[in-house]
Structure 1
Amino acid sequence: MKIIVITGGSRGIGASTAVQCAKRGMGVILTYRSHAAGAESIVRAIEAEGGKALALPLDVGQIQSFAGFRDDVAAALAATWGRDRFDGLVNNAGHGLFRPIEAVTEAEFDGLLNVHLKGPFFLTQALLPLLADGASIVNLTSATTRVATAGVAPYAAFKGGLEVLTRYMAKEFGERRIRANAVSPGAIRTELGGGLNDEFEALLASQTALGRVGEPDDVGRVIANLLSDDSGWVNAQSIEVGGGYII
């Protein structure tokens, strides 16, 4: 059985990924920052279908907490699966900000940097001793790295950095046969950045070749597949999952 750690797994794409991984027979450790009830509801849903999952608290913006989180993961692996390694890491947790460059504060900039680039870098570093040889890493980036969208400059810039970091992870971890790929969602119906109103959704759908916005499961299925052996020769790639967004 593969065991997957998914950050930001209490809702949206992270929650979908947890469920999709469990459907494929994987064990799941999902994290949450403040939405404990949501995380536990995902755990119960997985268990109701015969899977095995648990939820751990984690703030990806608090780098100093990562050593303690690694200990929590090690304890969970031993107690729940009798294992000392896990097989996949999904760096998904994040938050959005819609504000023009001229109005972004340093605190907002640093908050986005910590969660979307610095956090994944140092969390991956902290968890490497527990990551099995032959494991897989999936980093969540964004179609905004390809399509410049006014109001999301810091977010997109750090997602672009994470896309580059993904290739370096693939390069440096290759000796251990650890794969690293990025998944770049297009317009998806989640709560990131406050969610979608009807007018905005209609606009995004009109800009997407398949004529609708995506659902979390559209992305979660791709991530779960990348974590599986079916994608064992896919490495160092950035895969946009957006139904043909602004092509």
Structure 2
Amino acid sequence: MTEPAPQTTPGTPASAAPRPLALVTGASSGIGRATAVGLATDGFDVIVHYGGNREGAERTAELADEAGAATALLPIDLEGLDDAAGFWDAVTAVAAERFGARQLDALVSNAGVDLRRPFAEYMHAEVVRLFQVNAIAPLHILQGVAAGVRPGGSVVAISSVAATQPLATSLPYGATKAALDHLVRATAALVAEQGIRVNAVSPGAVDTPLQQPERIALLRERGIAASPEEIADVVRTLVSPATRWVTGQVIDATGRPLR
């Protein structure tokens, strides 16, 4: 598989004492953008991954730049990602070009797709796409964590309440997130001796481009839909040293008691 060459954006050059480096996948909008900008505010330089929405990624990079970060764009189509090297070779290249040869301090695996329809109407290709982007691509990303993230670093994946509370019109999506939860717990055990923490955040309804605006507006009126920034705050907490004893966990971020 041939990946597009990494591309960089202007910003402050790396200093003698570089800021920690974070990578956020699916950072063109929504939770990914809010997380990238939030981590920039927390003192990280940021690699902004995107699939097809370059304009959105550039806007995210601009906002992170304004927050004090040096940034780089990383275009990788996760629908075509079929091995770990396809992802991590590109990450290594952009990190070396823009930030010097160093490992990530934080990785946020946020990119995902959703599709809502009656279960009986899902087509095979649609189910394959959901699993490819939401579970298989993250699997390949997690395969490279031991080499790509420094000891003491943090990995956070964005899961969903649908993994444990099935939604009638989104059953394949929930299955992909259940697979992701398993991968997070398993990877946390595999890299624990290296001091790398791996956790997931499980939101409920969030006001992102994946959601129907009318549904989100109704849920926000009822106080049960989060903003991207509110979920990003949970991610930032898991990245921070304040949660250095937390790993292998799927953190409920629905704002509601567990059933």
- Normalising by the residue count of structure 2, what TM-score does the alignment of the two structures yield? 0.87
Give aligned pairs, total.
Answer: 241
Per-residue deviation, residues 133-156 of structure 1 (Å, max 9, x unmatched): 121111111011232211100000
CA offset at residue 128 of structure 1? 3.6
* Aligned residue among 171, 182, 186 for 1:153: 171
Q: Which residue of 1 aligns with 2:208?
A: 190
SS in 2 for 1:64: coil
**Matched residue type, 1:8:** G
Q: How many Å separate the matches in 1 of 2:216 and 2:183?
A: 31
- Determine if contact 1:225/1:231 at 8 Å carries over to the other structure: yes
Q: How many Å separate the matches in 2 of 1:203 and 1:220?
A: 19
**Matched residue type, 1:34:** G
* Aligned residue among 209, 230, 236 for 2:242: 230
Matched, 1:17 2:29: no
Q: How many Å separate the matches in 2 of 1:229 and 1:82?
A: 24
Q: How many Å separate the matches in 1 of 2:78 and 2:152?
A: 24
CA offset at residue 4 of structure 1? 1.1
- Determine if contact 2:43/2:68 at 8 Å carries over to the other structure: no
Matched, 1:45 2:45: no
SS in 1 for 2:225: coil
SS in 1 for 2:78: coil
Q: How many Å separate the matches in 2 of 1:10 and 1:174?
A: 31
Q: How many Å separate the matches in 1 of 2:219 and 2:108?
A: 30
**Matched residue type, 1:201:** A
Matched, 1:202 2:202: no
Q: How many Å separate the matches in 1 of 2:199 and 2:33?
A: 19
Q: How many Å separate the matches in 1 of 2:80 and 2:230?
A: 30
- Determine if contact 1:8/1:31 at 8 Å carries over to the other structure: yes
User: Which portions of structure 1, spanning 4 or more consecutive aligned residues, are displaced by more than 6 angstroms?
Assistant: none
- Determine if contact 1:8/1:93 at 8 Å carries over to the other structure: yes
* Aligned residue among 128, 131, 139 for 1:121: 139
Q: How many Å separate the matches in 1 of 2:23 and 2:68?
A: 18
Matched, 1:241 2:253: yes
Matched, 1:81 2:109: no
SS in 1 for 2:23: strand
Q: Which residue of 1 aligns with 2:128?
A: 110
Distance 1:84 1:246, change over 3 A: closer
Q: How many Å separate the matches in 1 of 2:86 and 2:237?
A: 30
Per-residue deviation, residues 221-244 of structure 1 (Å, max 9, x unmatched): 111121111111111111111221
SS in 2 for 1:42: helix
- Determine if contact 2:181/2:200 at 8 Å carries over to the other structure: yes
Q: How many Å separate the matches in 2 of 1:222 and 1:146?
A: 19
- Determine if contact 2:35/2:233 at 8 Å carries over to the other structure: yes
CA offset at residue 68 of structure 1? 4.1
- Determine if contact 1:63/1:123 at 8 Å carries over to the other structure: no
The share of aligned pairs that are identical, in percent, is: 33
SS in 1 for 2:176: helix
Matched, 1:136 2:154: yes
Distance 1:168 1:127, change over 3 A: closer
Per-residue deviation, residues 87-122 of structure 1 (Å, max 9, x unmatched): 121111011100122111110111001111111001
Structure 1 unaligned regions, length at least 5: none
Distance 1:186 1:80, change over 3 A: same
CA offset at residue 196 of structure 1? 2.2
